[in-house]
A and B are shown apart, each in its own frame.
Chain A
């Protein structure tokens, strides 16, 4: 059992009726061993709940907690955000899973690019690079101002922070690849780390290519066990089948077959819509009854 120590809503997307939540969770064993880039899997019910992977957004080994950040995109995340509050226990939480990010001292700068919910998993990587003395420039982007979060946290761990929005409602009006290209033109970039929607990572890879800068991407495929047992999360990397849960979640962006990955992520789309619909109908009925 893992107690929720703090719960905050980080953003709300009116257009899609989706929120982003931050939960600080008591998990001393995970906090102690986790490294940047690793993730956890949680369930809100140990019998019938689905297993949801989330990258660890922050952790404090001394105080024994980790932070997770998630978007309410489906039935489970919605129910989680609505029914689990400070003081409640998360029944299933396992981790840290996956291989940690490879962090090493670089000559040039490390350019960290996070889009939307991808800003959360990027945060520990920015912190870890900063901690070993790399020069870190961070770009965070979202469709609109209300969807941005972690601006202060990212600023604190970066040498420079660039904020962009698609609609120009905050920061610069641009997509993340625009400043990415500008920086690669001006400065010596040793590595790019890009985390966000698959399509954004795919474009970041295309933007980085002319400069020949190594680019690491973190993949968020569908998973069940998260320990290498089922192969549900597999992606094609450099023509070989890799498991995101144990071989990743981070891979050389140039080698990832993003098109296949995006297709595979639609495997259960119709089911998710159905479940989400059922879930919301249920909640509305509940409210009406009260």
Chain B
């Protein structure tokens, strides 16, 4: 593990280089692409691993102004903007970076907001290495995709700058049209739809089953990765635009979608209810005390604030040895939450290897740094309990990688006779989510796939007139940005429909 650099150390390094570049520019010399690519990738300042593993504060601290300016100079403004094509919502990336190069941070964030309303969130949770940064020309030139321009970190920087400098401008909606839209679910898809439709002058009500708005950004993603204050701020901005929020309202039960459309006076509706039905493994011992779905484990800590033992009424399960099963972002969140809740030993059991992990590279790196013990090429066969029904261990089987499967990843193959037991007192299952069946069960004529995902056309329209859908309820468990992309497409189609009505 390389030495941890403090913000001050990183800032000092950046300041020196940046001064040289400024001097060069002042002397009238233009930076060549070679000058630009020779600037080292700016490292993200972060809390020291041994410290942060025991607190809930944000791990990544954000670039300093100098670091952001310096990192922006690494962009060669290559012309084709391949990065933009890698973005699910088509953020004008070279343009916003150019603004940073010029020191115009407000201009940069406004440019992003032309297509992405939640840059502070996306800058933190987007899998940039598989999207914009994957296509970055700088990364290609250096034959090192990990050295692409840090687009996500720059996006975060300008969004944070805007917020901390009180520069947020709330869009003014078009004159009232008198049309009413119901948005079901206040996660990334729902919030995006609400903003785009409200901007067009329609009235919008967002219905949320929980007591707080934000969906997975509030119940799932932990504070140390996405501060809840940021999500609340985005919701506040929507409220300022006139969007109405109804919490503790479960559409399908409190009122059905049909009731909203037929009696509630809503002209159209968007379903963005997410993928909220945890997958279990259906192995022996899964209902022992101490075996949790990642949703339960994270919801207790995040939404119910159980990590704040002094104030929260929701209890946590005390565990010293926790195993998390899975290799995605949720698994990383679970493992790193377990450390912060006081576990002495945290394992992450994944049946493939680090190279195949679907989690963001940064999350995996952070988990390693914080001391999560990875058990690759292992998979559980049964959970073991004591006579009181409490978990005391898990039996694992060792795997090896075989031929690639349909997803292109090498298929894990069990090695017979390699069963062995790991002593644990809590297990967190993070193997993904199926679609919550409530909307399909309570809405006549709503077509879903055999996995329960709502079927939509290219405009996100469902099988029911006046009803659109998007996000994880359509995609299966995916990402914040893909959900937002679907939301934008749905909102465009809904606005078109409402205008013609």
Contacts and interface: CB of A to CB of B under 8 A. Distances in A.
Nearest to B254: A29
A52 B312 CA distance: 14
B313 A49 contact: yes
A229 B295 contact: yes
Interface in A49-97: 49-51, 75-76, 91-97
A268 B304 CA distance: 15
Interface in A200-232: 224-225, 227-232
Contacts of A235: 287
Contacts, number: 121
Contacts of B314: 50-51, 224
A9 interface: no
Interface in A210-266: 224-225, 227-232, 234-236, 241, 246, 260, 263-264, 266
Identify which of A47, A75, A260 gathers the most chain B CB atoms within 10 Å of its CB: A47
B301 to A, nearest CB: 11
A246 B438 contact: yes
A230 B254 contact: no
Contact of B249 (A43, A91, A94, A260): A94
A272 interface: yes
A68 to B, nearest CB: 15
A281 interface: no
Contact of B312 (A48, A92, A263): A48
Nearest to B298: A230
A94 B209 contact: yes
A33 interface: yes
B282 interface: yes
A275 interface: yes
A96 B292 CA distance: 25
B171 interface: no
B254 A94 contact: yes
B253 interface: yes
B253 A271 contact: no
A264 B289 contact: yes
A120 interface: no
Nearest to A45: B313
B315 A268 contact: yes
A290 interface: no
A228 B436 contact: yes
A234 B313 CA distance: 21
B497 interface: no
Contact of A230 (B209, B290, B296, B388): B296
A113 interface: no
A241 B287 contact: yes
B293 A230 contact: yes
A97 B253 CA distance: 6
A97 to B, nearest CB: 6
Contacts of B436: 227-229
B255 A33 contact: yes
Interface string A20-59: 0000000001100100001000010111111100000000
A228 B277 contact: yes
B36 interface: no
A285 interface: no
A48 B289 CA distance: 24
Given A45-B313, A231-B296, A51 B248 contact: no
Interface string B431-464: 0000011100000000000000000000000000
Given A47-B305, A95-B250, A231 B289 contact: no
Contacts of A75: 313
A288 interface: no
A264 B312 CA distance: 22
A267 B304 contact: no
Contacts of B293: 230-232
Interface string A87-113: 000011111110000000000000000
Nearest to A74: B313
B210 interface: yes
B160 interface: no
Nearest to B387: A263
A272 B278 contact: no
A227 B438 contact: yes
Contact of B289 (A29, A38, A267): A267
Interface in B248-277: 248-250, 253-256, 259, 276-277
Contact of B304 (A51, A91, A96, A227): A51
B252 to A, nearest CB: 9
Given A29-B255, A241-B280, A93 B248 contact: yes
Given A97-B250, A263-B289, A263-B389, A229 B277 contact: yes
A224 B312 CA distance: 14
Contacts of B287: 234-236, 241, 260, 264
B286 interface: yes
Contacts of B277: 228-229
Interface string B277-317: 11010100011011011011001100011001001111111
Contacts of A96: 253-254
A224 B220 CA distance: 13
Contact of A48 (B219, B247, B311, B315): B311
Report, nearest first, the 4 A-B pairs whose CB atoms are least far apart: A263-B389, A271-B315, A230-B296, A229-B276
29 contacts: A29-B255, A33-B254, A43-B211, A46-B211, A47-B305, A50-B312, A51-B314, A91-B211, A94-B248, A94-B249, A95-B253, A95-B254, A96-B253, A97-B250, A225-B209, A227-B436, A228-B277, A228-B436, A228-B438, A229-B436, A230-B293, A230-B296, A232-B292, A241-B280, A246-B437, A246-B438, A263-B388, A267-B289, A268-B315
Given A29-B249, A246-B437, A267-B290, 14 more contacts: A33-B255, A51-B314, A92-B248, A93-B248, A224-B300, A224-B314, A225-B210, A228-B437, A229-B295, A229-B299, A230-B299, A236-B287, A241-B280, A264-B289
Interface of A: 29-30, 33, 38, 43, 45-51, 75-76, 91-97, 224-225, 227-232, 234-236, 241, 246, 260, 263-264, 266-268, 271-272, 275
Interface of B: 209-212, 219, 247-250, 253-256, 259, 276-278, 280, 282, 286-287, 289-290, 292-293, 295-296, 299-300, 304-305, 308, 311-317, 388-389, 436-438
